[in-house]
């Protein structure tokens, strides 16, 4: 009997072809929304391996739905929505993909910055309504990006430095802060390391790039937002939980800051209605890695992880390798006729 694999949303054809050559694969055909919990549980009951995406919540309930579940293979870089402890307790390996989305995420980051500063979304909506205030009207006058100051929080990492390279093309002054100073980054990209409070006070655009950890949860709250210029914008393409969303809504409503460009939200896929109504906010549905070439590469890495498991080998991107004793891997391979 072939291994049964369930994929929670459509993936790249090249990855699906490889997967179907080695297993019995079923795919949820709807890529317009996150799979409902009830449907996910029902699907897990009928599969041996789950191929999940970042927003699929694989919690204890999902894992308990099938005592014979052999693996959870995610297309996420970090297993934020997977109960790894519960999976480990059940001896279920959990795999992810390496951080290969820096350039794609930096594109979205800079796009959000341009859109919110130049009021491009508002302009698009106006034209679609048949209104055209004129090329020199102040009706949709925004603010310049070129030559301004950008402050990168957690800016010494892959995505922060990719944004810095783009900022150079716009003649921007680049400030950064992080838990560790990186002299080589400062030298190569002409970035200036400053304390966080100074970064917030001096930047025209504050760009969030911190990884989500216990110490970075609500790293940006009411106090930090109050330090920003009233003419400044905040951009977040990292993780929604890094910004206190309630504090952000208040700051935007009171015009403590000028606006925001958000690709991530604190309680995804839910987005606060207050944010949706604000014209000085640009919202995108977590599109950071949303480039076909990147998504295809990510899907094929998940397939690499799955094929390794089916061949009785340790997958290259396992977050709980302690469940992969040699005897366990061999047993799994034998159980699936490999």
Phi, psi of 95 (to 5 degrees): -120, 155
Q: Which pairs count as long-range contacts for 291-298, CB under 8 Å and 24+ apart, including other chains? A: 291/104, 291/107, 292/12, 294/100, 294/101, 294/104, 295/11, 295/12, 296/12, 296/14, 296/15, 297/100, 298/75, 298/97, 298/100, 298/101
Ordered alpha helix ranges (H), 203-272? 222-227, 245-253
**Of the candidates 170, 174, 205, 210, which has an alpha carbon nearest to the alpha carbon of residue 189?**
174
242, 212 in Cβ contact below 8 A?
yes
Distance CA 235, CA 117 (A): 11
Report which secondary-structure segment, H or E, holds 49: strand 49-52
Distance CA 13, CA 299 (A): 9
What residues contact 258, with CB distance under 8 A and at least 6 apart? Answer: 143, 229, 230, 231, 232, 233, 280
DSSP label at 267? B
Q: CA dist 298 to 76, 184, 204, 238, Å?
A: 8, 29, 34, 18
Instruction: Mark whether 268 is an active-site residue.
Output: yes
Instruction: Mark whether 217 is an active-site residue.
Output: no
35, 320 in Cβ contact below 8 A?
no
78, 96 in Cβ contact below 8 A?
yes
- Choice among 239, 295, 332, 336 that is catalytic: 239
- Choice among 286, 295, 332, 336 that is catalytic: 286
3-state secondary structure of 151: strand
Distance CA 201, CA 25 (A): 53
- Choice among 217, 268, 296, 338 that is catalytic: 268
Instruction: Mark whether 103 is an active-site residue.
Output: no
Distance CA 94, CA 317 (A): 8
Residues carrying an active site annotation: 239, 268, 286
């Amino acid at each position: 009997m072939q291994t049964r694999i369930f994929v929670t949303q459509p993936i790249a054809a090249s990855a699906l072809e490889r997967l179907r050559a080695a297993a019995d694969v079923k795919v949820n055909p709807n890529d317009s929304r996150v799979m409902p919990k009830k449907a996910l549980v029902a699907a897990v009951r009928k599969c041996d391996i789950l191929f999940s995406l970042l927003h699929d919540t694989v919690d204890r309930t999902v894992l308990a739905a099938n005592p014979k579940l052999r693996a959870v293979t995610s297309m996420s870089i970090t297993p934020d929505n997977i109960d790894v402890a519960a999976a480990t307790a059940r001896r279920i390996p959990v795999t992810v993909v390496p951080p290969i989305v820096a350039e794609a995420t930096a594109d979205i980051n800079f796009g959000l910055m341009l859109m919110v500063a130049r009021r491009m979304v508002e302009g698009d909506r106006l034209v679609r309504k048949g209104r055209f205030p004129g090329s020199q009207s102040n009706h949709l006058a925004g603010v310049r990006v070129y030559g301004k100051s950008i402050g990168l929080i957690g800016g010494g990492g892959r995505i922060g430095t990719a944004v810095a390279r783009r900022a150079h093309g716009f003649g921007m002054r680049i400030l950064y802060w992080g838990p560790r100073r990186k002299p080589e980054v400062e030298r190569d990209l002409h970035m200036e390391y400053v304390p966080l409070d100074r970064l917030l006070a001096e930047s025209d655009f504050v760009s969030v790039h911190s990884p989500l950890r216990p110490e970075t949860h609500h790293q940006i709250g009411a106090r930090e937002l109050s330090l920003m210029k009233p003419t400044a914008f905040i951009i977040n393409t990292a993780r929604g939980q890094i910004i206190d969303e309630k504090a952000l809504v208040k700051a935007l409503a009171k015009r403590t800051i000028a606006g925001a460009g958000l690709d991530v939200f604190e309680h995804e896929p839910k987005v606060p209605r207050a944010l949706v109504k604000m014209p000085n906010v640009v919202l995108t549905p977590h599109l950071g890695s949303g480039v076909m070439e990147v998504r295809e590469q990510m899907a094929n890495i998940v397939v690499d992880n799955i094929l390794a498991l089916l061949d009785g080998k340790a997958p290259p991107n396992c977050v709980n390798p302690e469940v992969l004793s040699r005897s366990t891997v061999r047993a799994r391979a034998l159980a699936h006729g490999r």
